[in-house]
Amino acid sequence: MQLIRGVREGLRHREENAAAEKPDWTTRIVLLSIPILVAGGMIWFGLGVQSPDQLLAGAALLAGALLTGFSQVAAWRERILMRDEQARTRALDEAAAHILLSLVAGVAITVLVVSLVVIPSEDIPAWVEQIRVVLGAISVAVLSYVGLTLLIVANLLWDAFQFEKQDAERENLEDLPNED
């Protein structure tokens, strides 16, 4: 629940004054509606996952990217905390919450895909096929959520990179001797 709260609190338009931040409704709606539309479309059209092992491989790649991103976020956050810059720290806290919630979602994908693998795909009753379709739809929906969060995290990391670059340039300029 704390991760969900962290993601919800992070999806805001960043301001210097945290109390003045307004919710970013566009991002919130996109982040929730696309996975729901994906799952609904798959169930409506009866599209099942034909190769669950490929879905599992995709989830593993995303999990690796998320773990790498988390280590970078943690390192940047430590440096920024030393400079006491709250607005940037909040952005990195949001990125960390997205990453960790996506890793939890990755565990859900793994459980769903393993369930798909153990259900036979040939000569099965219609109700079992419907279960396969629903499990596949939920798996793909959660995977699309993780993919969308990765886009958000990439944007947050790019912003942090740009701030670090600006700070480094400013610090180097201050270290140069005065030519007067």
Partnered with residue 12 across adjacent β-strands are 23
DSSP-assigned states of every residue in 25-79: HHHHHHHHHHHHHHHHHHHHHTPPPS-HHHHHHHHHHHHHHHHHHHHHHHHHHHH
Is residue 180 domain-resident? no
For residue 43, tell me if it sits in a domain.
yes
pLDDT band at 57 (very low <50, low <70, confident <90, very high): confident
pLDDT score for 176: 46
On the 0-12 / 13-18 / 19+ scale of CB atoms within 10 A, 121 is: middle
| Average pLDDT of the residues in 40-57 | 88
Tell me the three state secondary structure of residue 155. helix
Mean pLDDT of 27-47: 94
Enclosing domain of residue 79 = 2-175
How long a stretch of residues is the chain? 180
Query: Domain tally for the chain?
Result: 1
